[in-house]
Amino acid sequence: MEIVILPDGAAVGAAAADRIAAVVRRNPQAVLGLATGSSPLGAYGALAALVARGEVDLSHASGFALDEYVGVPPESAHSYAATIARDATGPLGMDPARVQTPDGTAPDPEAACVDYERRIREAGGIDVQLLGIGTNGHIGFNEPTSSFASRTRIKTLAPRTRQDNARFFGGDLDAVPLHCITQGLGTILDARQLLLVAQGESKATAVAAAVEGPLSAMVPASALQLHRSAVVLLDEAAASKLTLADYYRFTYDHKPTWQRG
């Protein structure tokens, strides 16, 4: 795992954008794993700026969202389909026909999960998966005690996640759905590269547990420890509870030229 501590959220976003852009320059038809929430917004903004300057073209890339609320139609502004369209597909100049989210209103949600796995597989798998992290250590909507082998499936949101996400529903906790469809930890681990971004003090405990704690289903993001190409981009506040922060800084400062993107 590569842990990079950067001065602020803007630097985290820029670093994530640079890494995604590098993947797309190598392969214009790359498959991107897209995340929702506030964490990836800086990355999308920086990537959109690269697109606007003509430094990368995402119009031939595909995208798969990590998750979706069950029972929220894609037309609703609260759906992750709408969120991804607003925050990522549009600003990044991606082709909407190539960007998919799990179907949270499918009459048969379990079949929709199986179908989502099939669609990812048929696209050739995800080249680079962007991830945020929940304050309880979740990635996607893989709440604590999720299996490291899990595939796309229906989950019940943890009370803390519903509280955290109530801000996207005008502060109304009752409006936050109870269930979601999320890529599993096993699905996420199949991506060829993982890019986790975290900013702010509220993520520091989850980040430290994920990066330096034991592998544990109680900290779903600790699954990153099993991946051969996982990068964790943090601002100072999100890195503030890491025991080996100085080592990560030293490692990054002395990264051999041949390893630099």
Structure tokens at 145: 């005690």
What DSSP assignment string belongs to 118-129? HHHHHTT--SEE
Q: How far apart are CA 105 and CA 90, in angstroms?
A: 23
For ligand GLP, which stretch binds (CB under 6 A), given 31-39, 90-98, 107-115, 228-236?
A: 31-39
Q: Does 104 bind ligand GLP (CB under 6 A)?
A: no
CA 77 to chain centre: 19
Convert residues 52-91 into a mask of x (bound to ligand GLP by CB under 6 A) and - (unbound).
Answer: --------------xx------------------------
Q: How far is the CB of 56 from ligand GLP (least distance, A)?
A: 23
What DSSP assignment string belongs to 16-29? HHHHHHHHHHH-TT
Q: Does 161 bind ligand GLP (CB under 6 A)?
A: yes
Q: How far apart are CA 81 and CA 76, in angstroms?
A: 9
* CA distance from start to end of the chain: 16
CA trace torsion 194, 103, 120, 40 (10° rounding): -20
For ligand GLP, which stretch binds (CB under 6 A), given 69-77, 89-97, 131-139, 204-212?
A: 131-139
Name which position in 16, 20, 21, 35 contacts ligand GLP (CB under 6 A).
Answer: 35
For ligand GLP, which stretch binds (CB under 6 A), given 3-11, 92-100, 130-138, 204-212?
A: 130-138
Is 136 noted as a catalytic residue in this protein? yes
Structure tokens at 138: 């979740």
Residues that bind ligand GLP (CB under 6 A): 35-39, 66-67, 132-134, 140-141, 161, 165
Residues designated catalytic: 67, 136, 138, 143
